[in-house]
Amino acid sequence: MKLYNYFRSSASFRVRIVLELKGLSYDYVPLHLVRAEHRAAGYADRVGDALVPALEIDDTHLLTQSMAIMEYLDEVHPDPGVMPKDAVGRAHVRALAQMVACEIHPLNNLRVLKYLKQNLMVDESSKDAWYRHWTRTGLEAYERQLALLAKEREAAGLIASRFSWGDVPTMADCCLVPLIFNAQRFHVDLQGLDRTMAAFKACMALPAFQRAQPSACPDNEA
């Protein structure tokens, strides 16, 4: 397999985590987003939205969109799973993952921030304020949802969650961790997000998450 990605891309980070959790080997193919390497013909001709990540699984199939790639990997390589076995658990995990991938991340994507600055002439300080506002607002919602799910688990007689849902990392955590990494980089206030940050810390104690983080990537510029 080949993973086309950028070390600082949240969506790419998600897929790297799943690959590491499952112990799957892959070729790391860097595409520098800031330098617009993802828009070069060789890549853009194969990927409709010219975004990362993309996972090449054979000579015929190139998969796009991180959520779809993660679910594909979990279906084809189910052990260890990043989705619960029960339908209710899977629905909760998908909802948490989508809170990040569909509600928070689109507002803070690199191309959105570039448009704010280059097209709408928003200054750097205002652009960063935009980022911090929407990230904090989204994380507060995530925190509230974790609290509600904790009550649901307690009522059902389930053990308390160490991660976002349950005692093992799921796709929700694979989305949450990259978001927190970027939130820290942009100095988002993370105080009072006790359940969310506990899940993040539990994840980062695992070698798979450490191996997938941006600082461990070959194209890391830090």
User: Is the bond preceding 80 in cis, omega lying within 30 degrees of 0?
Assistant: yes
* CB proximity list for 80: less than 8 A, separation 6 or greater: 21, 22, 168
Question: What is the CATH code for 2-80+212-216?
Answer: 3.40.30.10
Distance CA 91, CA 99 (A): 12
Long-range (24+ apart) CB contacts under 8 A made by 60-67 are 65/11, 66/11, 66/12, 66/14, 66/15, 66/101, 67/97, 67/98, 67/101, 67/171
Q: Name which of 87, 47, 86, 92 is nearest 69 in CA terms.
A: 47
In this structure, are residues 15 and 53 in contact, taking their beta carbons and an 8 Å threshold? Answer: yes
pLDDT in tens, the chain (222 residues): 999 999 999 999 999 999 999 999 999 999 999 898 999 998 999 999 999 999 999 989 999 999 999 999 999 999 999 999 999 999 999 999 999 999 999 999 989 999 999 999 999 999 999 999 999 999 999 999 999 999 999 999 999 999 999 999 999 999 999 999 999 999 999 999 999 999 999 999 999 999 999 999 999 875
CB 98 within 8 A of CB 84: no
Separation CA 169–CA 148 (nearest Å): 18
User: Would strands 62-64 and 54-56 be described as parallel, antiparallel, or unpaired?
Assistant: antiparallel
Q: Name which of 3, 1, 7, 2 is nearest 185 in CA terms.
A: 7
Is the domain spanning 87-206 CATH 1.20.1050.10? The answer is yes
Reduced 3-state DSSP string for 100-160: HHHHHHHHHCHHHHHHHHHCCCCCHHHHHHHHHHHHHHHHHHHHHHHHHHHHHHHHCCCCC
Q: Where are the domains of the chain?
A: 2-80+212-216, 87-206
pTM of the model: 0.95
Q: Give 29's strand partners.
A: 4
- The span from the CA of 186 to the CA of 50, in Å, is 25
